[in-house]
């Protein structure tokens, strides 16, 4: 029997599926613990960490990088990605890790039976999620990773982080992607485009240039089918939303805390039920 307090911190925190996911796990495994969503202002982070009140916690936007200086140490994975989303208390020390990259990889394995080895990947977005996905793609030994973001600063930051990898390249405009479409094996949308409006980051003409064997993945999970995925599906391409990544990072967090977790399918079902 394990006793502990767990939380998700971020600001602002809207409706989160993490409490349902982890509290279900606690109940199933008869673990005496509770998980809550806890909105914190940036000025409250230092005191939160110093209090050592929680046995473990997750970190979401906008604190995945902000949290690092306050932790006792971070793993090599978190260091290379430059972001922390899962923290564990060990011998009164908070250790930060990143399960976003692993969660994305687990989704590909479980839902599509693939990894990104040898693939030419087009990554749209260069923010926090894109850093973790880039890490996974590079560790999978993708053939080429093409990155586009409307923010030049974000793009340069991502490329600088992974400068030792020769297969990562920046694209300076959506138009500059055009010659690459027929050679792309996987498109990943790691931007918010399509989350709250009816827009697609790629249009029908661009999606139609992709090979019919290409995968189109959108890490957005609400709505379950974004305009990007709808267009891609109508062209007969394999599509995948972000539910699996959310489930994957969650169960990898559970394994980090307890060395056991819900199954991938159980976690997906809980998340899907909550949407």
What is the predicted pLDDT for the residue at 2?
58
10 burial via Cβ count (<10 Å: 0-12, 13-18, 19+): buried
Low pLDDT (below 70) residues in the chain: 1-2
What is the predicted pLDDT for the residue at 64?
94
87-121 per-position pLDDT tens digit: 999 999 999 999 999 999 999 999 999 999 999 99
What is the predicted pLDDT for the residue at 174?
86
Question: Whole-prediction pTM value?
Answer: 0.95
What is the predicted pLDDT for the residue at 14?
82
70-88 per-position pLDDT tens digit: 999 999 999 999 999 999 9
Number of continuous H segments (helices) and E segments (strands) in the chain: 10, 12
Q: Do 241 and 215 meet the contact criterion of CB atoms below 8 Å apart?
A: no
DSSP string for residues in 187-240: EEE-SSTTSSSS--SS-HHHHHTS-TT-EEEE---SSSS-HHHHHHHHTT-EEE
What is the predicted pLDDT for the residue at 15?
84
Active-site residue, 255 included: no
Domains and CATH numbers, the chain: 3-98+247-274 (3.40.50.10860), 101-241 (3.40.50.720)
From 64, 88, 131, 268, the catalytic residue: 64
């Amino acid at each position: 029997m394990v006793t502990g307090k767990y939380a998700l911190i971020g600001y602002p925190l809207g409706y989160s599926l993490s409490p349902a996911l982890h509290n279900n796990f606690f109940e199933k495994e008869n673990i005496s613990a509770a998980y809550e969503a806890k909105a914190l202002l940036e000025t409250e982070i230092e005191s939160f960490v110093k209090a050592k009140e929680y046995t473990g916690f997750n970190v979401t936007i906008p604190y995945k990088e902000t949290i690092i200086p306050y932790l006792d140490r971070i793993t090599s994975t978190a260091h290379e990605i430059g972001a922390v989303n899962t923290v564990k208390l060990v011998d009164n020390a908070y250790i930060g890790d990143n399960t976003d990259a692993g969660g994305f990889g687990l989704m590909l394995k479980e839902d599509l039976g693939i990894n990104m080895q040898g693939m030419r990947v087009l990554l749209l977005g260069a923010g926090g999620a894109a850093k973790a996905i880039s890490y996974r793609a590079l560790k999978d030994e993708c053939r080429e990773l093409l990155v586009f973001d409307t923010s030049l600063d974000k793009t340069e930051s991502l490329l600088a982080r992974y400068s030792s990898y020769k297969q990562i390249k920046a694209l300076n405009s959506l138009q500059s992607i055009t010659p690459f479409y027929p050679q792309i094996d996987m498109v990943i949308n790691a931007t918010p485009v399509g989350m709250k409006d009816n827009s697609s980051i790629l249009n029908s003409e661009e999606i139609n240039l992709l090979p019919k064997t290409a995968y189109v993945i959108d890490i957005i999970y609400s709505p379950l089918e974004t305009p990007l995925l709808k267009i891609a599906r109508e062209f007969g391409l394999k599509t995948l939303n972000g539910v699996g990544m959310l489930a994957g990072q969650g169960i990898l967090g559970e394994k980090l805390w307890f060395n056991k977790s819900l199954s991938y399918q159980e976690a997906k079902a809980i998340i899907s039920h909550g949407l």
